Chain A
């Protein structure tokens, strides 16, 4: 506001030296009470003890792209377990020589995600780009045209599988969850109780058992000769599972909306659909961005549970690489690599959500 300009003339002093700058920051954050000062000193000592040996192990003494024999002799980390197996870790059983196809698909997916993060691009054309992009990705992965040999979904594995399961899991579960939340607040008893039953049933069951049911029990109920792709069944289980959790979070947001907003929309003569789409959901979904992102992050990480129905996501392909006798004993390095990979994805999501929250903030 321009209040400062209207203030009457008088001396405006700078705050004291010890309150601003590096000194002020140190004082107010690290040494503001005697116990915080003590903690600061202790943590500094601990870092002094731990950081140099770790850096020595991870960087100075480490082997980056060597034969396993070299690793046995060195004291440091053996990153070669990752670099020498990177093809299998990333692409799994996708046939050799065809791995550019999932590689290109992933780049395309990341590119589209990157393009979509700018809210100015949220137009009708964006939907068209996504449709084109997704069909290109599907064609690349499955093949069968342009001289690309067919690769069955059973061979889709590694990072592309993880990305696929989590991306479609989140993108499909979100709108489904919103619909379930609206349904649970519906005045129509049939819709309401259906939604309640669905949400409570799904939330009362672990994801693993849902995956089991989709992969083992579900086919038993299908008529003879009908089969549904295994990856697709796992994908459906993840979507249904995540949607139930999203629904409850969104319902929380809907309940936080003041009654006046509904009344003002009613008083203008807006229909139920318009009220929800234009007034209520934009505000309610914004309120619940933090818990929603929490659910999406755990959905992303939970895709690694598909290993129990014999799908090879990036966690499983890493484990398979480690089962090679040449590379046993270097699991620490391989899992650190995986942790970094997962962290990058999760951190990107959560920092984007924070940016979105800031952009959508319209209050004071």
Chain B
């Protein structure tokens, strides 16, 4: 029972579907036979020891990493070498990084409007209004004129979330969004993510914040050695883990 794809007959068309996907770094088989269907509005938390391939998996979804075998289809577009398709998928998929990766030479507002203006061709004024609305939403509107280097880590990560939201993405990927933050700043970022989840965003979150997983996730997925070992509802996953490796991992982090 290594792979348990939820919903053998999906009620709706999946927004992301990954079918027998493999990835190698040189000779190293980093992801092996990944199958994953994500429904719209679903929230999936991916956990696992470091080096298990969880970051690589979500980075394959917007083609920051290339897969070598199998299929990845995002919102009806298959990821291949076609750069137009890749750009199309990237515009629909937001990503939040561990180290924020804001553009340090641009003001907060310009960081937010860059994507809408250049990728979506939104008029500048409209893009700025939308950006201010999203800054309001992550409780940071008063910092709009500042530069990233002048903000704290937690503030920067909230800006990074707002930057992704400005593109009106259909899916949000979070790659360990709180791992680089001081403990007192983790909550402000998680709160924003919880709000986002309540509003029905489709989210794939790689994190070690098990509290977040319990309260928000529809599905928790455990990865080890480049494979999806187990996935289940949070309740089942934490109270009744099926797999020996999952039990070992949970005993180490909880």
A-B complex is real: yes
On A, residues with C-beta under 8 Å from B are: 258, 260-261, 263-271, 274, 278-279, 282-283, 286, 360, 362-364
Q: Known: A268-B119, A279-B103. Is A260-B90 also a contact (CB below 8 A)?
A: no
Q: Kindly identify, within residues 200 to 222 of chain B, every residue whose CB is under 8 Å from any CB belonging to chain A.
A: none
On B, residues with C-beta under 8 Å from A are: 62-64, 87-88, 90-91, 93-95, 97, 99, 101-105, 114-115, 118-119, 147-150, 163-164, 167
- Is the pair B115, A263 in contact by a Cβ cutoff of 8 Å? no
Residues of A within 8 A of B149 (CB): 362-364
* Alpha-carbon gap, A264 to B102, bound state (A): 7
* Alpha-carbon gap, A282 to B104, bound state (A): 10
- Is the pair A362, B90 in contact by a Cβ cutoff of 8 Å? no
- Is the pair A263, B101 in contact by a Cβ cutoff of 8 Å? yes
A278 smallest CB distance to B (angstroms)? 6
B227 smallest CB distance to A (angstroms)? 25
Give the nearest-CB partner of B146 in chain A: A362
Residues of B within 8 A of A261 (CB): 101, 103
Residues of A within 8 A of B103 (CB): 261, 264-265, 279, 283
Residues of A within 8 A of B115 (CB): 268-270
* Alpha-carbon gap, A263 to B164, bound state (A): 13
* Alpha-carbon gap, A363 to B118, bound state (A): 25
A–B complex contacts, Cβ < 8 Å, 9 sampled: A260-B97, A264-B103, A266-B90, A267-B95, A267-B164, A270-B119, A278-B118, A283-B103, A360-B105
Question: Contact partner of B97 among A264, A274, A360, A363, CB < 8 A?
Answer: A264
Residues of A within 8 A of B90 (CB): 266-269
* Alpha-carbon gap, A278 to B115, bound state (A): 11
With contacts A261-B101, A266-B63, A269-B90 known, what are 13 further pairs, Cβ within 8 A?
A: A263-B97, A264-B103, A266-B62, A267-B94, A268-B91, A268-B115, A269-B91, A269-B115, A269-B167, A274-B118, A279-B103, A360-B105, A363-B149
Question: Contact partner of B99 among A260, A270, A279, CB < 8 A?
Answer: A260
- Is the pair B87, A271 in contact by a Cβ cutoff of 8 Å? yes
Residues of A within 8 A of B104 (CB): 283, 362-363
Among B99, B118, B163: residue with most chain A CB under 10 A: B118
Q: Known: A264-B103, A266-B64, A274-B118. Is A362-B147 also a contact (CB below 8 A)?
A: yes
Residues of B within 8 A of A258 (CB): 101
B158 smallest CB distance to A (angstroms)? 15
Residues of B within 8 A of A283 (CB): 103-105
Give the nearest-CB partner of A274 in chain B: B118
* Alpha-carbon gap, A270 to B167, bound state (A): 12
- Is the pair A269, B119 in contact by a Cβ cutoff of 8 Å? yes
* Alpha-carbon gap, A345 to B148, bound state (A): 36
- Is the pair A269, B87 in contact by a Cβ cutoff of 8 Å? yes
Give the nearest-CB partner of B166 in chain A: A268
B173 smallest CB distance to A (angstroms)? 8
* Alpha-carbon gap, A186 to B118, bound state (A): 23
* Alpha-carbon gap, A260 to B94, bound state (A): 15
Give the nearest-CB partner of B115 in chain A: A268
Give the nearest-CB partner of B119 in chain A: A269
* Alpha-carbon gap, A263 to B90, bound state (A): 11
Give the nearest-CB partner of B118 in chain A: A274
Residues of A within 8 A of B119 (CB): 268-270, 274
Give the nearest-CB partner of A362 in chain B: B147
* Alpha-carbon gap, A57 to B91, bound state (A): 72
Give the nearest-CB partner of B63 in chain A: A266
* Alpha-carbon gap, A279 to B106, bound state (A): 9
* Alpha-carbon gap, A258 to B95, bound state (A): 17
- Is the pair B102, A286 in contact by a Cβ cutoff of 8 Å? no
Residues of B within 8 A of A271 (CB): 87
Residues of B within 8 A of A363 (CB): 104, 147, 149
* Alpha-carbon gap, A140 to B94, bound state (A): 57
Residues of B within 8 A of A270 (CB): 114-115, 118-119
Residues of B within 8 A of A266 (CB): 62-64, 90
B220 smallest CB distance to A (angstroms)? 24
* Alpha-carbon gap, A363 to B94, bound state (A): 26
Give the nearest-CB partner of B96 in chain A: A267
Residues of B within 8 A of A265 (CB): 103
- Is the pair A282, B99 in contact by a Cβ cutoff of 8 Å? no
B251 smallest CB distance to A (angstroms)? 33
B85 smallest CB distance to A (angstroms)? 11
Give the nearest-CB partner of A360 in chain B: B105
* Minimum-distance CB pairs A-B, first 8: A269-B91, A264-B101, A363-B149, A269-B90, A260-B101, A362-B147, A268-B115, A267-B95
Residues of A within 8 A of B91 (CB): 268-269
Residues of B within 8 A of A269 (CB): 87-88, 90-91, 115, 119, 167
